[in-house]
Amino acid sequence: MTSQTPTRPLRVSAPTPSQRALQFKRRMRLADLLVIAGWTSGAASIALYLGYGGAGQFGTLGAAVTSLGILAGLVGTDLILVMLILAARIPIIDRAVGHDRAMAAHRALGKPALYLILAHVVLLIVGYGIQQGFNPIAETVALWQMPDMPLAFLGFGLLIAVVVTSLVVVRRKFRYEFWYVVHLLSYAAVITALPHQFSIGGLLANGTLQRVYWIALYVLALGSILTFRVIEPIVKSFQHGIRVTSVEAVAPGVANIHLSGRKLKDLDSDGGQFFVWRFWTAKTWWHSHPISLSSVPTDTTARITVRALGNGSTRLGRLPRGTRVTIEGPYGLFTEAARTSPKLAIIAAGIGVTPVRALLEHSRLVPGEATILLRASSEDETYLWDEMYDLAAQRQARLYTSIGKRPSRGRTWLSAHDAQRDVSLRSAFPDIRKSDLYICGPQAWTDQVVAEARAVGLPDHQIHTERFDW
């Protein structure tokens, strides 16, 4: 591991520890309120059903099974709508927990929602069968003949397709484009299942608080998707008029894409955040790309750095000048706003240098506050390192590099040479317990760094990562 000595100080006023602590408390308070709201929504779906006559529907075995089926369906639907809200990229959620944690919660709710909807179907068939002389086939046919039930079964099938294709072991077998199209079916599943909630058995009768609650929840979920995933990106893209200025090769398969636009500082992006980019050429318009800014934008210019990891990203290295660009974002808490500690530790590998370069440029640091470690398997993967050297020098930050393949045996995120020298997280960052640790790189490598950080006692709120997988 080699070091880079800082030479040019840049003195700026940095937030005090008390200011960072106050910001953290506010975020945690907001995050707690969001969690409470999520649990409350599920409890409300149960309480409203029981309060509007459901509590009296447990007198017989058949009625009890049917009522449990209705409750399972209501809670399952509630979870699906919460999932849509988490995926809508609502700014208040992004500021509280960040995009990665919101999407992790979104994925975690998928299986429970599916199991509850499955229980809803099975319990209703069994419950109706018990009441009418149990014949599951006949009851299934009877359900198909009820108003809006074919749409409900269609929604159930779409939900199964979404959840199954979202499983990691399944998802990795498909290209991103296929998975993305299938995932859009979640919206169709919600919409097709909606009518039967209002038409079957007067469950959501006019004039009831139950009906008001469900309509409000549907409007919130679908309205958030429409507002923050469709309308706002269109308006923002039109306002800023972003276009490709030039494409500059950085290394084989890696390119800087320089962009121009209007009032780009009004995007209010912090260093380390990412946008979802769509480049409007005949071969790229249908593919969106979550990419971090690799430098802090000026009022008229911005830059991203991309690596060719598939057909979609490979085409970005050949974008013609003047290509129109639309955006969603900014997203993520991989920023200075997430800091809670007096020291800053940064570790980046490969193309993961892009958000940490913008983070370092945007951060307000005092001399000696930051320590940086850049990791590469070979000299060919030292993307933007010259710029990192300059930024570290300006901010009087310590910068180390670790170049070389990892050892064939043992689990380490450092090079074989550094592993032989017993270099570790603690030795590279003596103040690690007093630091916020920002990590960006391939996911398996990032997981190893996170594991070592936790092993030395760093709490989760001081560990910040940026995912590059989907």
pLDDT at 394: 92
Chain centroid to Cα 200, Å, comes to 36
Identify the helix (H) or strand (E) that includes residue 413.
none
Could you say which DSSP state residue 357 is in? H
Over its C-alpha atoms, the chain yields an Rg (Å, rounded) of 26
- 347: exposed, middle or buried (Cβ count in 10 Å: 0-12, 13-18, 19+): buried
pLDDT at 23: 84
Query: What fold, for 2-16+338-466?
Result: Rossmann fold (3.40.50)
pLDDT at 369: 93
pLDDT at 10: 41
Identify the helix (H) or strand (E) that includes residue 466.
strand 463-466
pLDDT at 308: 82
Spatial separation of the C-alpha atoms in residues 40 and 170, rounded to whole Å: 32
Residue partners of 268: CB distance under 8 A and separation at least 6 = 330
Residue type, 176: Y
- Give whole-number Cα distances, 65 to 123, 130, 205, 382, 421, in Å: 6, 9, 22, 62, 65
Please report where in the chains the tokens 């690690």 appear, as a residue. Answer: 432
pLDDT at 9: 41
Q: What is the pLDDT of residues 122-134, one digit of tens each?
A: 898 888 788 777 6
Contacts of 316-319 with C-beta under 8 Å, sequence gap 24+, read 316/247, 316/255, 316/257, 316/279, 316/284, 316/289, 317/247, 317/249, 317/253, 317/255, 318/247, 319/244, 319/247, 319/257, 319/279, 319/281, 319/284
220: three-class secondary structure by DSSP? helix
Q: What sign does the dihedral 271-272-275-278 (CA atoms) show?
A: positive
Spatial separation of the C-alpha atoms in residues 151 and 191, rounded to whole Å: 9
Query: What fold, for 241-331?
Result: Elongation Factor Tu (Ef-tu); domain 3 (2.40.30)
How many C-beta atoms surround the C-beta of residue 233 within 10 A? 20
- Closest by CA to 437, choosing from 421, 419, 456, is 456
Confirm if 114 and 161 have CB atoms less than 8 A apart. no
Q: What is the number of alpha carbons within 13 Å of residue 208 lying toward its C-beta?
A: 16
pLDDT at 21: 80
Chain centroid to Cα 425, Å, comes to 27
Each residue's pLDDT, cut to its tens digit, for the chain (470 residues) gives: 665 544 444 444 567 777 888 888 888 999 999 999 999 999 999 999 898 888 888 888 888 998 999 899 899 989 989 988 998 999 999 988 888 889 889 888 888 988 898 898 889 888 878 877 766 666 666 666 666 666 667 777 777 777 666 665 455 555 655 666 666 666 677 777 766 666 665 566 677 888 889 989 989 999 999 999 999 999 999 999 999 999 999 988 899 999 999 999 999 899 999 999 999 999 888 888 889 999 999 999 999 999 987 766 788 988 999 999 999 999 998 999 899 999 999 999 999 999 999 999 999 888 999 999 999 999 999 999 999 999 999 999 999 999 999 887 777 899 999 988 989 999 999 999 999 999 999 988 999 999 999 999 999 999 999 775 44
pLDDT at 6: 45
